[in-house]
Structure 1
Amino acid sequence: MKKIKVLFFIYEMGAGGAARTMLNIINNLDRTQFEPVLVTLNYNGSYEDDLKSDITFIKLDTKRLRSAIFPLAKVIRNEHADIVFSTIPNYNTIAILARLLSFTSAKSVIREAAYLGGNFSMDMKLRAYGLLYRLSSKVIALSNGVKDNVVKRYNVNPRKIQVIYNPVDVDGIQRQIDNGKIAEEHQAIFKSKGKVIITAGRLVKDKDHHTLLCALAQLNNRLNAKLVILGEGELETPLKIKAEELNIADKVHFFGFQRNPYIYFKHADLFALSSLHEGFGHVLAEALATGTPVVSTNSRPGAAEVLNDGEFGVMCEVGNAEDMAAKLYETLTMTNEQLMQMVDRGKERAREFDAKTIAKQYEDTFIQTIGWSDRS
């Protein structure tokens, strides 16, 4: 039986959520039906070592996204790809153009992960993306809210869009917890007195760490708590300055990017997410999988969908430090019985996003896209 060759295109297999999603899909595809090919620009990404050995991995001889169109078209042609899969608007446009210029019968399947738009200039840009998205065979939205946004702001036909949640490698997360160890220089933070709150994500405006710092300052008026921040980004220095202004610099610890964040999650008392908006909230699902209680802003559409409006974690208002501080305190002072109930519900929820389950949904979509309905 001929296998379906899926060419996955991404900028690099770096530390971001898009690369982690790509990794989980590729590694979990059924090799009896699919042959994956991964193509990136000429960068070394932190997740490359986690790729399964049977994956054909090609790096284009360029570091510029715009310069990738013709080289990518050549790879599509030479690899005889059946499907070209990509994610994130800028990369999707390159992948669609490359597929067109490959002059092959390959189909484009693109994934929209972000909840974008809201002002005139951005909405016009999204309409432009939408013109290209209409040339794809299928658009995958990672939540119902993202789907609605693609219909509204990109002007894409809803019949072309399918919702598939982000894959979470639940078993892999548990293995990393079982075999992992917190870096020696960080262990004292988790062993010292006081509650440990942890968060993870890029240090950018959309993640709104500013509100989380303000909430921490208020929380410390009631109980002793520390904040561990995993991630890198342009706002690290401003956030450190803000912590100084709030007199909590000694309680805020920036640990940067960690290859195994899950061992950190597991040893924390609580995971907090302060985002302004989330397309899905992948890190929330991962935190649930580690068995760590979660407090998150009601960042729509993603966080609200992952936590089902508070069924699987505590939710607070976006940008409201006072409300966040109250919810952090409420969660950190729960009884053991209440915490265990929350943890058990969270783990059950995380299983719904298990990578094997989600990969099967991608497999079905790929098969439907190229019209190979009978694979028996």
Structure 2
Amino acid sequence: MKIALVLPDLRGGGAERLSLTLAREFRAAGHTPCFIVMSEAGELLDDARTLGPVHALKATRVRAVIGALRTQLERIEIEALIANLWPLTVAAGLAVLRIPRARRPLVTLVEHNTLSRQYAGWGAKTRLMLRVSLAVGCRLADRRIAVSHGVASDIARLAFMSAGRFEVIHNPVPALLPDDAELARAEAIWGPRNGRRILSVGSFKRQKNQALLIAAFAQMRAPGDTLMLLGEGQLRLELGAVAREAGVAEAVLMPGFHSDPTPFYLTADLFVLSSDYEGFGNVIVEAMACGTPVVSTDCPSGPAEILKGGQLGRLVPVGDASALAQAMVAGLDAPGDPAPRRARAADFAPGRIAARYLETLFPPRHRAGRG
């Protein structure tokens, strides 16, 4: 089957990394993936091109996407379209309406976040548009996927639908094996090991609340301890100022975006997620796959699902720096057996998750009909 993955661009975010992982698995299974993006930009663009063609719509606004996407779909023949991230998910459903049914691809929308939280502060007009567009877009789609049960419940409520009409498929997280040179580079970035190493991975944006993590680190830091914030984003300067005000600037490292953070998980003593909300939490699974102990805020909607309610990692209330600091100390003092963490991470192996996607996109009866 020919499968198109639709994204705003190919920056290094969770939805983009998910799409590349799926494309890689689809190719391994004998299918033909391609990417359709609003803007041909992002850190993962070159990686995407190794997996399939990248078609740029050159549309700066979602309203323009509908016509541009319809035109693109009339040029290329595909069987299925996987649209990621509202409002692109809605635009995809509208784009195929005027394509003759015999040539119309199956439309699957995938939502990656609890949109009620993501757009809570955007005003009444945006929230109304969110609900109305989801009510339309979710009904236009042939398939609906959410990356966690919490996201499914949230989107279903916003779209005035039953959560049972959404398939929950967790994100695929590849298990990578860095070589000695990559581990050495990570060690060099960490610097001399004079204390404990605490790692967080994610874009520098409000949702991730790295400022909370810096505050917690300032409370529990012992001499020689290091906190690394691996990522990039518009809050870089602000986070640097927060670290200086907390008196820990010299112990907080921000080495930028790394497409493969695995060497850093393997050389860290603890991984921490401090988000106010998440759709899933790929980085938690990545850390667990490396055996690294995990502390996370118990935010909606992924961490508790991944960590089995706290059995496999410590969960703390959202926004509580003191509780986070205490959990970090406990996680460092008693890291526990890494084997159950690694076993849980295997549940999200790319091959398993891609198979779920293909079963959802192309049920046996439909696959036979297209054959």
Distance 1:355 1:123, change over 3 A: same
- In the alignment, structure 1 segments of 5+ residues that lack a partner are none
Distance 1:165 1:292, change over 3 A: same
1:178 CA drift (Å): 5.5
Q: Secondary structure at the match of 1:363?
A: helix
The 1-side partners of 2:310 and 2:58 are apart by 47
Partner of 1:354: 349
Q: Is the contact made by 2:22 and 2:354 (CA closer than 8 Å) also made in structure 1?
A: yes
Partner of 1:266: 266
What TM-score, normalized to structure 1?
0.89
1:370 CA drift (Å): 8.0
The 2-side partners of 1:369 and 1:137 are apart by 15
Alignment deviations for residues 315-351 of structure 1 (CA, whole Å, 9 cap, x no partner): 21211111111111111112xxx53x1x211111110
Q: Secondary structure at the match of 1:295?
A: strand
Alignment deviations for residues 86-112 of structure 1 (CA, whole Å, 9 cap, x no partner): 110022122222222434422210001
Q: Secondary structure at the match of 2:140?
A: coil
1:30 CA drift (Å): 5.5
Q: Secondary structure at the match of 2:229?
A: strand
Q: Which residue of 5, 8, 30 maps to 1:8?
A: 5
Distance 1:239 1:348, change over 3 A: same
Q: Is the contact made by 2:148 and 2:170 (CA closer than 8 Å) also made in structure 1?
A: yes
Partner of 1:105: 104
The 2-side partners of 1:116 and 1:10 are apart by 17
Instruction: Give the length in aligned residue pairs.
Output: 363
Q: Is the contact made by 1:9 and 1:38 (CA closer than 8 Å) also made in structure 2?
A: yes
Q: Is the contact made by 2:6 and 2:83 (CA closer than 8 Å) also made in structure 1?
A: yes
Residue correspondence of structure 1 range 215-294 to structure 2 within 5 A: 215-220=216-221, 224-294=224-294
1:25 CA drift (Å): 0.7
- Is the counterpart of residue 153 in structure 1 residue 155 in structure 2? no
Q: Is the contact made by 2:27 and 2:33 (CA closer than 8 Å) also made in structure 1?
A: no
1:65 CA drift (Å): 4.1
1:154 CA drift (Å): 2.1
1:369 CA drift (Å): 9.3
Q: Which residue of 351, 359, 363 maps to 1:364?
A: 359
Root-mean-square deviation (Å): 2.4
2:215 is matched by which residue type in structure 1? C
Partner of 2:128: 124
Alignment deviations for residues 197-218 of structure 1 (CA, whole Å, 9 cap, x no partner): 0101111111111211111011
- In the alignment, structure 2 segments of 5+ residues that lack a partner are none
The 1-side partners of 2:278 and 2:348 are apart by 16
2:252 is matched by which residue type in structure 1? V
1:112 is matched by which residue type in structure 2? E
Alignment deviations for residues 106-129 of structure 1 (CA, whole Å, 9 cap, x no partner): 221000110121547254233123
The 1-side partners of 2:180 and 2:365 are apart by 41
- Identity among equivalent positions (%) equals 27
Residue correspondence of structure 1 range 1-376 to structure 2 within 5 A: 4-29=1-26, 34-51=31-48, 53=50, 55-103=52-100, 104-117=103-116, 119=120, 121=124, 123-130=127-134, 131-170=136-175, 173-174=176-177, 176=178, 180-181=182-183, 183=185, 187=188, 189-220=190-221, 224-334=224-334, 339=336, 341=337, 343-368=338-363, 371-372=366-367
